[in-house]
Structure 1
Amino acid sequence: MNALPTDLDLCYVATHGFAVRMVFQTGLLGQLAARGLRVGVIVPDAQDQNLVELCRRDGVVPIAYPCSPAPAARWLKSLRKYVVEDIRRNPCLWDKHQEVLAANARRPHKKMAATLGLLINDVVEQLPILRRWFLAAEQRLLLRSEVVAFLRQLGVRTLVATYPVAAPEPELLLAARALGLQTVLHLLSWDNITAKGHFQALADHYLTWGPTMEEELQQFYGVAPDRMTRCGVPHFDLYFQPPTPVESPLLQQLAGGRPYLFFAMSAARYAPGETAILAQLCEATVPGGALAGVRIVARPHPSALAGVMRDTATLDALRRLENTHGLLVSLPQMVAGSRMNWSVQDSDMHELVGLLRGAAVVLNSGSTVAVEALALGRPVVITSYDGPENRPYAQSARRLRDYPHLAKLIGDGGGAVVESHTALLAQITTLLAAPETGAEARAHALFRQIGDQDGKATERVVAALVRALPQVPGTGQGAREVPPPTPSARA
């Protein structure tokens, strides 16, 4: 292993491919480095070729996290949603619990653990002191001497985490606080607060997307307004700037032609009927059909192409529709061999932006793409059904609209919800004829999510981080006691 850098002014933690997109796509870390700051980024795979090139471009030091996972970390992760949360009131976590209960016979131990977990949850709800004991014990287990030593060696002044629900980010945050360092939380997605469970570690300051995220931080963690800076979303800056030329055969094929619908798909475990919906849409585009002359473009979720959620069934179904119905498919450009979850090539974002910008209507069952489409002024339709099937609620895309983050977007007017193929065709027909339908409500929903839309989110993040730097002692010394986060009710 190469020697670790030292004397870093600021270090981001990017354990997820979406975090890499957020901090590199519009040059956030490069702008910090251009101000003369020594900047590092802690990642699970410092050999990821896309990441290596981005760091070289922006003058940033990639740092492989050297500390082995704590033996109890995985056990704590699986148990804590039953101890810390009121799991029956959190649709996202309850959904995950139900998924484990439905596991096949090859995983009886997981099914048994979930059943036991629910019993534990019932006991903790009656004896909340057990929750406080658990949180205190968890903090002690996550505050590891080797992680403290790692940060001390880096000499970092400010640590910025992006995904505090996944290892090793909580233990890095706790180690930084123990060293008296400034800590900042810059969340990579809109659903992190309500959908992922109570954070294992908190921070001194928070960079928020918009009003909704600020309200959630206040509601669940009691974060005071003066500890939050509303910045918007750095990689969304691309949406408010002139289009960037990109070499994309698919975009060239679509340019100047017939209108098209863009279906940004979710992972099949969340929306199992999306390929069936696509088949129905393709049938409607034949001569004489309800959507005659309209083209259909589909993009599978990155999880379908790599990792533990790899989904060959969905990819095979898309290929069949390509061959039989002329469906156009945009495959996320994954980084081959990367150990980072959902690591995509830097150029992939530009094709995604181009597809969203040119679409007549964007279809989605509940991912961040719904917000991205709003940022580009595109009408959004939420497909809250499963094609011709009538699946039970626990296995249906219908349940996604009850996830707090999507429910808020829909409630604010961010998308038209359809529950059948007939309703979908009717909504698409309306939006093709009058794309301004619902525009005022969509603008309101977008503001609620990301605040001002001036293309300057990256600048605001840089300014907020630079302002934070002088508040940090340069020695990295002076360990202090780390209090556990205060438990709070989940949405």
Structure 2
Amino acid sequence: MEEPPKRKLLVLITNHFAAINLIHTGFIQKLADKYSVQILSDFIQEADIVKINRYFEIQLTLVNIPFGKEPPVLRLLRLFEKFLFFNLFKANTHRVKLLEQSIFIRRVAQVSGWLLGTRVLPRWLLNLVRKGIILLSSRTAQPGLACSDLAGIISSSPLDSRENAIVNRLARQNVPALAIIISWDNLTSKGIINADHNYVLVWNEIMKCEFENFYSGFQPKPRICVTGVPRFDVYVKRKPNAISILNFKRKLSISGSADIILFATSAPRHFPQQRHIVEDLLEYCKRRLNTILLIRLHPADQLTYYKEYLSERTVRICRSTISASLPELNFLDLLTDTIYCCDVCVQVASTMRLDAAACGKPVVNIGYDGNEELPYSQSVRRLYDYSHQLPLNAFNVDKLVFSKQELFDHLGQVLRKVYPGKFNQTAREAYAPAQARSSISSMMHYVEEWLA
């Protein structure tokens, strides 16, 4: 008997992190097993679709329709909306970011906030502006979308205005929408979601509370579902044994008995002085026998900045650069192996703080600016006061160092196994709650519930 045709889903992917979250974690494979999945993306090409289909043994199709261009008036409205949003909720991220601006801009923001007065007017005005943006953006999306047989649309970056425009246009034709919040900082740092989704998937209760707080004044209200962190599934599945770690070290020409300090760099615009940290870590490795510095470059970082270290006996460099095309499909496998092979991870206010800890590795957070002390508004210290970092800071389960000497002292304790600090179960549960099923299974469960 012939099987009924699969229901069609349109999946929007407009940035590389979203691609990793949906494709590289294996979620897209589960989705394509049950539904007929169409991808609409501004960087994924037909050749990438062929690779994905071959790698996962699935059948995705690419929708060749360009995203519409945002009119200037809509961009101005979004900027005004963002100001209203940040003034109303006073998220710590934006208090810190405002300090980075000129005195003139800070004064304008302060006076404008004072003129808006009570919370009632900003909330009413924010609601009005958002409704206007949703209405206008629905008219900017390309009209060529075939939606008559679409069961639903999944937005992988729901804070992206291009994805909002597509969702809003299809909403006029009663196509249901599901949003996936792809990172812990999105809700507190990127403004407002200007589209109404039926379901919203988040990592944990912290993010769920953030969403409920920010969007409680808007109608209709979506169902908010906690799924855990998709890529953590990969960390569990690929947890290596002693032999696989030894083999990975051999690939990097590292002795099996060597201690490895993994330094995950940050985006240069956030921390332009991070080469000083590399110098400090290199000095530490030279002082200590049989210790290797493994540098994992941030996707926005450049290998050219570190070429001089390639000749150093105690240094290895892993590139994670993401170009305009789709990241290699084994991207998460390599990241997982890199984290598991290290003895300690040194990082700079990034998601590596979660990733390394989820793999059971001690984490050291860099809180000093290298060879100089910068004012707070320019210092790396400010990054740990962003809203998404604060709950993790409160658990006090990793180490924030404020000087080269503190870094050296703490590394010594960690590598001698005398430091008691650990990413404890309470903290892990807060960010990646234990569930009866894996994160990917949870996501699939809610997709099926959404389309039921």
What is the TM-score when the length of structure 1 is the normalising length?
A: 0.79
Q: How does 1:106-145 map to 2 (within 5 A)?
A: 120-125=112-117, 127-128=121-122, 129-144=124-139
Aligned equivalents of 1:303, 1:44: Cα separation in 2: 19
Q: Residue 45 of structure 1 aligns with which residue?
A: 43
* TM superposition shift of 1:175: 2.5
* Distance change in 2, residues 1:369/1:405 (3 Å): same
CA displacement, residues 434-476 of structure 1 (integer Å, 9 cap, x when unaligned): 277223x533222111111788211221122122212xxxxxx
Q: How many residues align?
A: 436
**Aligned AA (2:22):** V
**Aligned AA (1:83):** L
* TM superposition shift of 1:48: 6.7
Match of 1:180 among 171, 174, 179: 174
* Distance change in 2, residues 1:87/1:328 (3 Å): farther
Q: Residue 427 of structure 1 aligns with which residue?
A: 410
Q: How does 1:96-107 map to 2 (within 5 A)?
A: 96-99=97-100, 101=102
**Aligned AA (1:183):** A
* Distance change in 2, residues 1:68/1:461 (3 Å): same
Aligned equivalents of 2:199, 2:89: Cα separation in 1: 30
Aligned equivalents of 2:328, 2:51: Cα separation in 1: 10
Is 1:418 aligned with 2:401? Answer: yes
Aligned equivalents of 2:46, 2:239: Cα separation in 1: 27
Equivalent residue of 1:254, what SS?
Answer: coil
Q: Residue 365 of structure 2 aligns with which residue?
A: 382
Q: Residue 478 of structure 1 aligns with which residue?
A: none
Unaligned runs of at least 5 residues, structure 2: none
* TM superposition shift of 1:172: 2.3
**Aligned AA (1:39):** V
Q: How does 1:226-375 map to 2 (within 5 A)?
A: 227-243=223-239, 251-254=251-254, 256-286=256-286, 289=287, 291-305=288-302, 315-324=303-312, 326-335=314-323, 337-338=324-325, 343-375=326-358
* TM superposition shift of 1:178: 2.7
* Distance change in 2, residues 1:17/1:125 (3 Å): farther
Give the superposed CA RMSD. 3.2
Aligned equivalents of 1:412, 1:7: Cα separation in 2: 45
Q: Residue 216 of structure 1 aligns with which residue?
A: 210
* TM superposition shift of 1:49: 4.2
Q: Residue 80 of structure 1 aligns with which residue?
A: 81
The worse-fitting range, judged by mean Cα deviation, of 240-249 and 15-24 is: 240-249
2:346–2:366 contact (8 Å) kept in structure 1: yes
CA displacement, residues 238-275 of structure 1 (integer Å, 9 cap, x when unaligned): 10013587997884423624011111111122223221
**Aligned AA (1:264):** A
Aligned equivalents of 2:81, 2:50: Cα separation in 1: 35
Is 1:195 aligned with 2:189? Answer: yes
Equivalent residue of 1:168, what SS?
Answer: helix
Q: Residue 10 of structure 2 aligns with which residue?
A: 11
* Distance change in 2, residues 1:125/1:266 (3 Å): farther
1:160–1:184 contact (8 Å) kept in structure 2: yes
Aligned equivalents of 2:418, 2:62: Cα separation in 1: 44
Aligned equivalents of 2:406, 2:20: Cα separation in 1: 35
* TM superposition shift of 1:145: 6.5
Equivalent residue of 2:150, what SS?
Answer: coil
2:68–2:162 contact (8 Å) kept in structure 1: no
The alignment-based identity, stated in percent, is: 22
* Distance change in 2, residues 1:226/1:81 (3 Å): closer
CA displacement, residues 357-405 of structure 1 (integer Å, 9 cap, x when unaligned): 1111111111111111111111111111111210111111100110111
* Distance change in 2, residues 1:225/1:380 (3 Å): farther
2:200–2:222 contact (8 Å) kept in structure 1: no
Q: How does 1:142-153 map to 2 (within 5 A)?
A: 142-144=137-139, 146-147=141-142, 149-153=143-147
2:264–2:352 contact (8 Å) kept in structure 1: yes
Aligned equivalents of 1:278, 1:425: Cα separation in 2: 13
CA displacement, residues 145-180 of structure 1 (integer Å, 9 cap, x when unaligned): 645x44453632221112222231122232333322
**Aligned AA (2:136):** L
2:262–2:344 contact (8 Å) kept in structure 1: yes
* Distance change in 2, residues 1:455/1:137 (3 Å): closer
* TM superposition shift of 1:234: 2.0
* TM superposition shift of 1:67: 3.6
The worse-fitting range, judged by mean Cα deviation, of 421-430 and 195-204 is: 195-204
**Aligned AA (2:298):** H
1:272–1:396 contact (8 Å) kept in structure 2: no
* Distance change in 2, residues 1:146/1:226 (3 Å): closer
Aligned equivalents of 1:137, 1:75: Cα separation in 2: 12
CA displacement, residues 162-211 of structure 1 (integer Å, 9 cap, x when unaligned): 22222311222323333222221111111111121222224211222122
Aligned equivalents of 2:250, 2:112: Cα separation in 1: 52
